[in-house]
Amino acid sequence: MKKILVTRKLLQSNEERLKKLYDVKLNSNDELYSQNKLVEMSEGCDGILSALTDKLDEETINELPHSIKILSNFAVGFGNIDLEAAKKRGIAVTNTPEVLTDATAEIGILLILGACRRAAEGIEGARSSNWKWSADYLIGKQLTGSRLGILGMGRIGKKIAKIAKSLGMIIHYHNRSKLSSDQENGAIYQKDLKSLMSVSDVLSVCCPASKETVNMINKETLEFLPKGAVVTNVARGDIVDDDALIDALNRRKVYAVGLDVYKGEPNLNPGYLKHKSAFILPHLGSATKETRTAMANLAIDNLEEFFKSGNCKNKVN
């Protein structure tokens, strides 16, 4: 029987399934393993069911025991894993695409609504009973008729576009390549980031994390936005330069932000805390029971397929 290390606690139904299939090392306390602890725990294992919180860089991968043949990542992203280092070691890396699209897109829309309609301030006022209705109390930005710029028109970006369009928003997007007209569904293609940001009353960051997208939203590119734009991020924290975005908030170049992801999670840059217009969530993108169950099941499916065939359709390296 194959032996699998599971680095984070999963839902009970997923762990029960794993127990039937493999000799598993479960993380019952949901401890965030250090890189050294992860290497130590993987001794004698054939594979690792990893999470996005595991930093599997080149040094860590090179220290993994030779018995490890697969890293089945419990996420659609895989920016936490050095793919090239894993490939050199003959270790397959897989992810869990498609199953979290709807849940993450819902959070993407929540960020847009929360930031535009000053939800953080409204919640604070309601909880403290410290508010009084007036014609200009917490006036926010209306979505109907405003322009939504989507950076990265993949599965999640397309779903956000579909919902936002139903709310009356005008959709623009930038992608590595232009989509076919049926996939665009009325969205307007912008050939580069500057063009996209210049027409974005609201910017939704949905692109994958990669070496090319690190700090893509920075001091220079933020200047392309119309004054008073809203910036939201449902992708990865590394894509946004937090200091630059906070500076843009300070200068009122940016009206508000909606973030489900940010650098150094769970440690939020304290500069955001100075702004009531910052609507921040603790990485809830895939946080529904249905989605987390499906993600873990797909990660397990990836292990099964790999051990049976030596390959996997969700292999990313």
Q: For residues 259 and 233, give the distance between their C-alpha atoms in angstroms, rounded to a whole number.
A: 5
From the list 283, 290, 292, 305, the catalytic residue is 283
Residues 11-21: b if buried by 16+ CB within 10 A, e if exposed: eeebbebbeee
From the list 184, 265, 275, 304, the catalytic residue is 265
The number of beta carbons lying within 10 Å of the beta carbon of residue 271 is 15
Q: Could you confirm whether 174 is annotated as catalytic?
A: no
Q: Could you confirm whether 290 is annotated as catalytic?
A: no
From the list 8, 172, 174, 236, the catalytic residue is 236
Angle between helices 155-166 and 101-116 (to 10 degrees): 50
Which residues, other chains included, contact 72 with Cβ-Cβ below 8 Å and sequence gap of 6+? Answer: 47, 48, 49, 50, 94, 299, 300, 302, 303, 306
Q: For residues 292 and 148, give the distance between their C-alpha atoms in angstroms, rounded to a whole number.
A: 28
Taking CA atoms, 111 is separated from 35, 152, 199, 283, in Å, by 32, 16, 19, 11
Q: For residues 244 and 250, give the distance between their C-alpha atoms in angstroms, rounded to a whole number.
A: 10
Q: Are 48 and 72 in contact (CB under 8 A)?
A: yes
230: which strand partners?
202, 256
User: For tokens 């690792």, what's the residue?
Assistant: 48
Q: Could you confirm whether 283 is annotated as catalytic?
A: yes
Q: What is the H or E stretch that residue 312 is in?
A: none
Residue 313, token pair as written in the block: 């359709």
Burial of 82 (0-12, 13-18, 19+ CB in 10 A): buried
56: which strand partners?
81
Q: For residues 73 and 52, give the distance between their C-alpha atoms in angstroms, rounded to a whole number.
A: 7
Q: Annotated catalytic sites, by residue?
A: 236, 265, 283
